[in-house]
Each structure stands twice: as structure tokens, then as C-alpha cells.
Amino acid sequence: MPDFLLFALVGGLGVAMIAGPLGAFVVWRRMAYFGDTLAHSALLGVAMGVLFDLNVNLAVVSCCLLLALILVSLQRQHLVATDTLLGIMAHSSLSLGLVAIALLDDVRVDLMDYLFGDLLAISPTDLYWIYGGGCIVLLLIWRLWNSLLAITINEELAQVEGVPVARVRLTLMLLIGVVIAIAMKVVGILLITSLLIIPAASARRLANSPEQMAIIASLLGMIAVMLGLYASYQFDTPAGPSVVVAALIQFLLLYSLPFRRTV
Amino acid sequence: MSLVDVNNLSIIYGENSVVSNVSMQLKRGEITTLIGPNGAGKTTLIKAILGLITPSSGQISRSESLQIGYMPQKLHIDPTFPLTVERFLKTAAFSSTQDRLQALESVGAEKLLKQSVHSLSGGETQRVMLARSLLRKPDLLVLDEPAQGVDVNGQIELYNLIAQIRDRYGCAVLMISHDLHLVMAATDQVVCLNHHICCSGHPAQVSNDPSYIELFGIPGAENLAFYSHHHNHQHDRRGEIINAKTDISEIPGENHSSHCGGDH
């Protein structure tokens, strides 16, 4: 197996593993649009990274986290409905990113790589980012698991029972921001949310508990990465979209199987 | 000694005074029922008691290490969230399998243990939520319209169940209800709220009081609809009192000042 394919496989599997549990929360808490908005802002992070000569990964993580914080504070002021707010932020940050990159005339940034991912160009440094960041994310989810479930069931009930709701919710948003920054390399800005929600939605068919759903989502995501990469290598299709198509096929298969879920 | 002591509590949103000058006590072993029209501030009041809302003025003192079991008005769990009753109960507090079964048994829902929370009926959901709050060994149970979405027979059963739980666990119960006729028998204290406390008292003591009948209708009447709300004063949209008849002693049968906590 050529090196670039090995790196792509290891990187893709890592991202799919982290995306599983977070994707489950995105589905349960209906945060798909929120994820999309953060993803769109990642391009602004890329532009900032190139402009100020920072590490692009670091710039993207910071940009996602900053946007998550801005969203939370704007949401609290109830200026406009949350989905309107998300729509404004998503497309304006994407446009700002595109404009900023166009203005950087002395650097060439391959937009397609950022928009749709460049899985086959994953470097060993990217692997450190994926696995280092991923370990922190998974550890935090594991530590906060019960609180995260409690706020997903009912935030007021959780508050009465002593869960620091605002803090846990903010942590979840920041974790999603980190994962989006990490996953950008694999499927690109425009497709990241699909890697979060499609495996989680497919996992719902098979899961009888929240824990099962998180783990099955990870496994399905990892299988999708393998299938997508294989297809990409065999048929010379773009890697990121191939992974998403593989995830979609899983979803369609699972939902067309004639069995009733019990829980 | 009371578990919760509410003193001159007011909650103001912008210019709207949602709760004004409310004082009440919640005592161990007592069931307090909060009644009042929609938008009267009942839910706001209990949220303040739960500590979810900061009051604009007044105090709420809770006894030390007060354990509260809360049952929200509705539980919206997304259908994509795979949750059995058993797993749901586990989110309440550390509990053994036996604790969980016992809690379900005490609400008559032990058969539901392995079921999905998404397949429960309205009454079953309320029972399961009640069982969940019992697992926290509460000193105070706060129930926001526990009978919502439950048919009339189920409602009577549910209120009896709440009274049984009070007897068994000795906790205080604070609940919001629209069905005064149904809760009457199992209530120690009724508080009628319309932003301020219009009147409050012990239903057994005041049920023969003409003003009580005037307020809540004849006890045990076949009429199970909302009680008609005849006061000696009226409220405008913001709950301000208008047309208050200052000399209420002139109107026979309308004198409820003896148990009136309102600010008339």
C-alpha cells in the first residue's frame, strides 16, 4: 500500500471514530445546522492562517471556537431566530473566507481541497493533529458523558439536579468546533456535517442505548471511510465525497431493512 | 419547620410583573396545589422555587441540603435518542437495579422497565418521571401539571398516587393543576395565583365557605371543566387589578378576605 493511502486510511479512521459520539449529540440535539455554520467558518480560519502566517490547523480551530462563542452569546440576546442567525453566520463567514483568500494574491490556496477535502494529501503532521486532538475530545466526552446525556434529556431537569448546564452545553459546542477543524482535512468544509450526522443517523437503526449509538456511529463512519477510500483508489473518484457516498449507502441500506427497532 | 420559605417574591420581566409579592411555605408531608388561569405565573413561580429563575425581589429560603425531585411539564426527548425506561431511570442518581424496580413499583409501572420511552402513553410517561424523581429520595417533589395529557380516570389515579407517595416518603409536594375538583381530596393547601396570591387555604376548612364555592364551584360537582373564576376584582391583561370593589363586606358571599393573601 502506498504511503499516502496508508496516511489517508489512518487519518480517516481517526476522524470517523471521533465523529461518532459527537455526531450522535448533533442528531439528538438537532445541531446539524450549527455544525454546518462552524464548518463554513473554517474557511475564514484558513484565510487568517495564511494571512498571518500561522499554522493553518491552529487557525481553523481558533476560528471555529471563536464562532461558537459568538453564536452562544448572540443566541442569548434573542435578536433573531436561531436558524436565521445560523444562516447569516454560515454564509457570511464562508463568503468572508472566499473574499479574504481571493485578496491574498501572492499565495495560491487550492479552494477545492478545503471545500471538499484532500484525504489523499494527509501528512504525518496531520495525523498528530487528528489523534492528539481526538484523544482530548474523546476523553472530555467520556468524562462529561452523564451530564451531556442529562442536558439532552431535559436541560431544566438537569439544572435542578445540579448539572452545570451552561458550561456543559458550551463544552459540547467547543468540542464540535474542534472536531470540525480536525475533520476538514478529510471531507472538506462543505461535507463535514455529513460525516457527523449520517453515521449517527444510521446507527440509530441498530442502537438500543445512547452508548451503543455513539459506538456504532463510530464504527459505521470507519467502515464508510474504508469503502470510500477503496472506491477512490479503484475508480479515481474524489476521496472525501466518496466517503460521504459510502455513508449514504449504509444509511439507505439500514433504513430499508425490514426490521422494527425496539427502543 | 418549613422546607421552603418564600417571602415577598416578585419576578418582573421588562415591564411585566409575572409574580408579585408572593409568600408561601412548603412543609414536609404537605401537598400544596397551585391553581390559576393560564399565564398567571404558576410555572414561573415554581421555577423560581427550583432555583431556575432569579427573583427580581424577595427571598426564597430552602432548608439545608434540600433534595428536590422535579417533574417538568413535558419531556421532549428526540425520537433519535435511544432510551429505555431503565436507562432513563439510571440518569437520575446512583441506584441499584432493585431501587429502580422499587421506584417503578411504587408508581405501578414495573412492567415498563425494558420499554422505550418513546412508546409510553401520556399517563405512563408521567408515572415513569415520578418514579425517576423518587430515586433521588426527594424532600420536596415539584410537579408541573402532572396530569397533562392523561384522561380523567387516569388523572384521579395519578393524584391518588401522588398522595400515596407523600404518605410513604413523607415529602412535601408542590404541584400545578387545572383540575381542582380532582385534586381537592388530596391537597392540604390550595394557592390560587393570578400574578399575586388571590386566596389560599386548606380545602377541607374552606370548602363550605361561600366564597370558596364562589371561587371554585361546588365541591364534587359533575362539572369537570375549569372552575369558573369569580373574584371580587378583575384583572387586566397584565394582571393589574381593575374594578376592585373596595368595600367587599357589603357583598354577601364574596368575602374571602379571611384567607386572602392577596394585596387588595
- Provide the shortest C-alpha distance from residue B50 to chain A (in Å): 6
Contact of A175 with A141, CB cutoff 8 Å: yes
Q: Residue A31 — φ and ψ, nearest 5°?
A: -110, 20
Q: How far is B116 from chain A (nearest CA, A)?
A: 4
* Chain A neighbors of B82, CB-CB under 8 A: 204, 207-210, 212-213, 261, 263
Average pLDDT on B215-234 reads 49
In this prediction, residues B63-83 reach a mean pLDDT of 91
Residue A105 forms part of a structural domain: yes
By Cβ distance, the residue of A154, A160, A204 closest to B80 is: A204
> Could you tell me if A26 lies within 8 Å of chain B, comparing CB atoms?
no
| Domains contained in chain A, number | 1
pLDDT of B234: 58
Question: How far, in Å, CA of B127 to CA of B124, rounded?
Answer: 5
**Position A229 in a domain:** no
Cα B124 from Cα B131, distance rounded (Å): 10
Contact B81 A207 (CB under 8 A): no
Q: Which residue of A has its CA nearest to B113?
A: A263
H or E, element range at B42: helix B42-50
- For B84, the closest of A29, A149, A263 (CB atoms) is A263
Taken in order of first residue, the domains within chain B and their CATH numbers are 1-67+152-264 (3.40.50.300), 73-137 (no CATH)
Cβ-defined contact of B70 to A161 (cutoff 8 Å):
yes
Interchain pair A27, B136: CB under 8 A: no
Other CB atoms closer than 10 Å to residue A215's CB: what's the count? Answer: 17
Q: What is the pLDDT of residues A33-88, one digit of tens each?
A: 999 999 999 889 988 888 888 888 888 888 888 988 888 888 888 888 888 999 99
**CA-CA distance, A218 to B173, in Å (whole number)?**
44
Q: Which chain A residues touch B95 with a CB distance below 8 Å? A: none
Reply yes or no on whether the pLDDT at A228 is more than 90.
Answer: yes
Task: Provide the β-strand partners of residue B33.
Answer: B175, B190
Q: Can you give the pLDDT at residue A157?
A: 93
Q: How close does chain B come to A25, measured CA to CA in Å?
A: 9
pLDDT in tens, B156-173: 888 889 999 999 889 999
pLDDT higher than threshold 90 for residue B45 = yes
pTM score, two decimals? 0.85
| ipTM field | 0.88
Q: Which residues of B touch A263 (CB under 8 A)?
A: 82-84, 116, 118
Grid cell, residue A49, equals: 492562517
Q: List alpha helices for chain A, DSSP H.
A: 3-28, 32-51, 56-77, 82-103, 111-116, 124-153, 155-160, 165-187, 192-204, 210-235, 239-256
CA distance A54 to B159: 64
| Amino acid occupying residue A211 | E
Nearest CA in chain A to B116: A263
* Interface membership of A161 toward B (CB under 8 Å): yes
Higher pLDDT, A75 or B46: B46
The CATH number assigned to the domain holding A135 equals 1.10.3470.10
Residues linked to residue B197 through DSSP beta bridges, in sequence order: B193
Can you give the residue range of the structural domain that contains A39? 3-189
Question: Which 3 state secondary structure label does DSSP give B56?
Answer: coil
Mutate to test the interface with B, among A26, A145, A161 (most CBs of B within 10 A): A161
8 A C-beta contact, residue A93 and residue A43? yes
Optimal mutation site among B62, B91, B95, B116, interface A, most CBs of chain A within 10 A: B91
Yes or no, beta carbons of B52 and A156 under 8 Å apart: yes
φ, ψ (nearest 5 deg) of residue B198: -75, -45
Rg (CA), chain A: 18
Alpha-carbon gap, residue B185 to B141, rounded angstroms: 18
| pLDDT tens digits for range B10-26 | 999 888 889 999 999 99
Indicate whether B152 pLDDT > 90.
no
Q: Taking 90 as the threshold, does the pLDDT of residue A15 lie above it?
A: yes
Residue of A250, A213, A260 lying closest to A21 (CA atoms): A213
Residue A246 lies in a domain: no
* Cβ pair A160:B50 closer than 8 A: yes
A78 CB-near residues (< 8 Å, 6+ apart): none
**Nearest CB to A208; choose among B70, B76, B82:** B82
Reading the block at residue A167, the C-alpha cell is 458550561
The mean predicted confidence, pLDDT, of chain A is: 91
Cβ neighbours of B188 (radius 10 Å): 17
If you measure CA to CA, which chain B residue comes closest to A156? Answer: B52
Give the pLDDT of residue B208: 61
Lowest-confidence segment of A159-163, B113-117, B176-180 by average pLDDT: B176-180
Nearest CB to A28 within list B51, B68, B81:
B81
Q: CB–CB of B84 and A160 under 8 A? A: no
Measure B47 CA to nearest chain A CA, in Å: 9
Contacts of A146 in chain B (CB under 8 A): 91
Question: Where residue B262 falls among pLDDT bands split at 50, 70, 90?
Answer: very low
Confidence of residue B193 (pLDDT cuts 50, 70, 90): confident
| A204–B82 C-beta distance less than 8 A | yes
Q: What is the pLDDT of residues B90-121, one digit of tens each?
A: 998 888 899 999 999 989 899 999 999 999 98
Q: How far is CA B204 from CA A149, B185, B252, in A?
A: 43, 8, 21
* Contact A145/B at CB under 8 A: no
